[in-house]
Amino acid sequence: MTEKGAFRRDMNYLADRVTADGRDGWPVEPGRYRLVIARACPWANRASIVRRLLGLEDVLSMGICGPTHDERSWTFDLDPGGRDPVLGIERLQQAFFARDPEYPRGITVPALVDVASGQVVTNDFKQMTLDFSLEWRAHHREGAPELYPEPLRAEIDDVAEKVFHDVNNGVYKAGFASSQDAYEQAYRDLFGRLDWLSQRLAGQRYLVGDTITEADVRLFTTLVRFDAVYHGHFKCNRAKLTELPVLWAYARDLFQTPGFGDTIDFAQIKEHYYVVHRQVNPTGIVPLGPELSGWLSPHGREELGGRPFGDGTPPGPPPAGERVPELPSAD
């Protein structure tokens, strides 16, 4: 938090990378690492989506923390005995301390953990998904999409950076602001960027090019949480997503695309924000709404053309142990 009451995210993550050539000491190897996420977290949600789209489930296992945590860290309370069945730990904190017993920063998801040593390799969420696309290529499924195609990388990076500052992180800057001025600036930046995105997406199906890219993944995880959490909990209330026609149709299009909506658990998302953020919601009461069936309603975005997976194909259904609750039908 700055002196003027503005929220500032600590972006100093463990910067080691898992690469094809192992130049940081962590080579890509099937079965060696475990991706730890929480369904509630938008940054972790990116990793789970990209892993699904690229078909890395068989080579990169996934541990799922529960939706709430205390000041010590995320916990594996969804697993029998409250212990991750592969890593054998109760708290993600244990994997960070295995890497550095004096680790001074936040215990965050997503995290890639080396199974044999129990050490966190990286929690750098921005680089992690790009490496899934580039460094894990030898293990992609047949028909995996190009989420970070070389000719479009500069544009993807530019759009993603704008979205990060004003939207992904912008909702947090509004929600955690401790001064009126800081809140109002974040609010204006957020909705200014959402208006910009609406204009950009009015005539094209996806953010960059005519296929789904990393940029779409990054925007989606904030949009899908907008009405359930950010509109009320974080005071981002100029309009609901459902009141922004272009972005609402765009978000539904992605939600109904295999690999996106099948990673979303709205109950866990709401429980996390409304229970954990007691400085914002002191009672810990979790709202019953919003109505969710609209996520399955027709979106009409096919008329804009585009090919979701380019020359590739949709991923198959998620593994049995990774399925999320189905939404009620929109009919």
Amino acid at 68: T
- 187 labelled catalytic: no
Task: Please pick, among 13, 65, 103, 172, the residue that the annotation labels catalytic.
Answer: 172
Given a contact cutoff of 8 angstroms between Cβ atoms, the answer to whether 212 and 257 are in contact is yes
**Angle, helix 180-201 to helix 245-255, in steps of 10 degrees:** 70
Task: Please pick, among 13, 41, 148, 274, the residue that the annotation labels catalytic.
Answer: 41
- 65 labelled catalytic: no
Please name which of 68, 67, 48, 42 lies closest in space to residue 223, comparing C-alpha atoms: 42
Question: In angstroms, how far is the first alpha carbon of the chain from the final one?
Answer: 46
User: What is the Cα–Cα distance from 246 to 165, expressed in whole angstroms?
Assistant: 21
Please name which of 124, 192, 269, 232 lies closest in space to residue 200, comparing C-alpha atoms: 192
Could you give phi then psi for residue 39, rounded to 5 degrees?
A: -60, -30
Q: Is 25 left (phi over 0), alpha (psi -120 to 50) or beta?
A: left
Flag whether 295 is marked binding: no
Annotated binding site for glutathione: 74
Catalytic annotation, residues: 41, 172
